[in-house]
Amino acid sequence: MTKLKLQTLTGMHDILPEDQVYFKKVQKSVENITNYYSFQRIDVPILENADVFSKGTGITTDIVEKEMYTFRTKGGDLVALRPEFTPSIARSYIEHGMHNMPQPVKLWTSGPCFRHERPQAGRYRQLLQFDIEVLGEQNPSIDGQIIQMSYDILKDLAFKNIAIEVNSIGDSECKPYFKKILTSYFRSKRSMLCSDCQRRLKENPLRLLDCKEEKCQRVKAGAPQIIDHLCENCHAHFKQVLEFLDELELPYILNPYLVRGLDYYTKTVFEIVEKSDDGVSQGSLVGGGRYDGLVKFLGGRDTPACGAAGGIDRIVNLIKARNAKIDSAGGQASTKAGGKQDDTNIFLAQLGQLAKRKSLKLFEEFRAAKIPVAESFSKDSLRTQLKTADKMGIRWVLIFGQKEALEDFITLRDMKSGVQKEIKLDKVVQEMKAKIKS
């Protein structure tokens, strides 16, 4: 009789006590940054109706076709272990009537996801992810904020050689036309494609741009670019997103063939990759984009949305590989109900596109100085923003309009006394720090 040897299943792994400090560090970085941006935690079930993912993520995606763990319950329901978070959060948004809450709804979560993919270095069948989502807002400033937060998390974890790859894949107006152009191009090169891509050509031609096979990469290099075929609305949206990234001085590159492997994406898509010393991408650490049609597709209202997810296991493996020392100490930002940090006494209000762009950068300066600031970047009305600040019981409102943005100053309003004064933009953080201390 052979002796039974029990060990972890293929693609599964233990997180041993000596490794816990690394995972704790990533979790703290995500918590601190999401709290600063007034995101609230949500936890969704590991097990969902399989339709949540097959409809939401897309039947022809690799996740659903090849990687999703599905099985029938004793009652006959087809269920799935979640392969990602976004469709589950969209389902929760619909189920709990979150459209009745003040928009946008800003949520974050983390935990295990499951994909039956071929295990390799840094890739597991039970993987840990963090996820950030904003639902109920179409303003391009949200895209900029999601990208900034994703970048901040990696910088907080001491990643240095990272770059943001960004693209727009259009929407329901311009994407169908581009698919026809793309299909025509790849059809003429069909014999040069891998067997998976020959099948994708019929089912979902955009997926060909996501193939990692070397021979398909060579064919892709000559393919038409969707950015040349965007409708007016998508072009204007993407232009504003890039302007936000420019203002934030984020290191981005335009990747015209970036599509991400999920069907629900619209408009902005991005990945943050680590580069080797010779500038070659070492793989994606965080990725995401807009998914303006997903909530409606799952049975909810027409709801614009944007989000991102990061692979915690991969991030931890890279931190360990560079022998980085991790301090297990350190707290996290606390948050009251409604998303206001306990010691927030400043609200940043902005009016106009230029002011909105500069406000994102100023907000980052406050974050770097560890000064809590509330904001409502997606709102344009000053009256609405002042009402929000008043409801939050905030003492000082920084008003940043078109005139202020052009002349590099900001108007400070004391909500208690109604008194206003002007402050030079480069002195704002310093002056507000002194006010908080006093």
340 pLDDT exceeds 50? no
Residue showing tokens 């790849």: 186
- Comparing 393 with 4, which gets the higher pLDDT? 393
C-alpha 110/C-alpha 30 separation (Å) is 9
Highest mean pLDDT among 85-89, 118-122, 190-194, 218-222: 85-89
Average pLDDT over residues 272-300: 87
Candidates 313, 318, 310; CA nearest to 84 is 310
Contact 148, 156 (CB under 8 A): no
Task: Write down the H helix ranges in 167-220.
Answer: 175-187, 195-203, 214-220
Give the mean model confidence (pLDDT) for residues 10-37. 94
Q: Is the pLDDT of residue 329 over 60?
A: no
pLDDT at residue 332, as a whole number: 37
Superfamily of domain 346-437: Anticodon-binding domain (3.40.50.800)
Identify the DSSP state of 9.
Answer: P
β-pairing, 396-400 with 409-414?
Answer: antiparallel
- CATH class (in words) of the domain with range 17-174+248-321: alpha beta
Cβ atoms within 10 A of the Cβ of 361, count?
14
Tell me the one-letter amino acid at 267.
K
Calculate mean pLDDT across residues 394-414: 93
Q: Which residues have a Cβ under 8 Å from the Cβ of 94 and sit 6 or more positions away?
A: 295, 298, 299, 300
Mean of all residue pLDDT scores within the chain: 89
In angstroms, the Cα distances linking 152 to 12, 139, 155, 160, 216 are: 29, 21, 5, 11, 33
What is the pLDDT averaged over residues 234-238?
A: 97
What's the pLDDT at 212? 82
Domains in the chain: boundaries: 17-174+248-321, 175-229, 346-437
Q: Which residues are annotated as a binding site for L-histidine?
A: 84-86, 115, 129, 133, 260, 264-265
User: Dihedral angle at the C-alpha atoms of 156, 277, 271, 360, nearest 10 degrees?
Assistant: 50
Task: Identify the DSSP state of 288.
Answer: E
Which residues sit opposite 270 in a β-bridge? 166, 288
What are the Cα distances from residue 158, in Å, to 153, 165, 325, 385? 9, 19, 10, 35
Q: How many CA within 13 A on the CB side of residue 78?
A: 8
Annotated binding site: 84-86, 115, 129, 133, 260, 264-265
State mean pLDDT over 342-355.
86
* Residue 417 token pair: 């006394």
> What are the tens digits of pLDDT across the range 36-83?
999 999 999 999 999 999 988 776 666 777 789 999 999 999 999 999
Give the three-class secondary structure for 284.
strand
Comparison of pLDDT for 426 and 283, the residue scoring more: 426
- pTM value? 0.89
Total number of residues shown for the chain: 438
Q: In which band, very low, low, confident or very high, does the pLDDT at 437 lie, cut at 50, 70 and 90?
A: confident
pLDDT digits (tens, 9 = 90+) for 176-194: 999 999 999 999 988 899 9
- What is the pLDDT confidence band of residue 327, given thresholds at 50, 70 and 90? low
**What confidence tier does 205 reach under pLDDT thresholds 50, 70, 90?**
confident
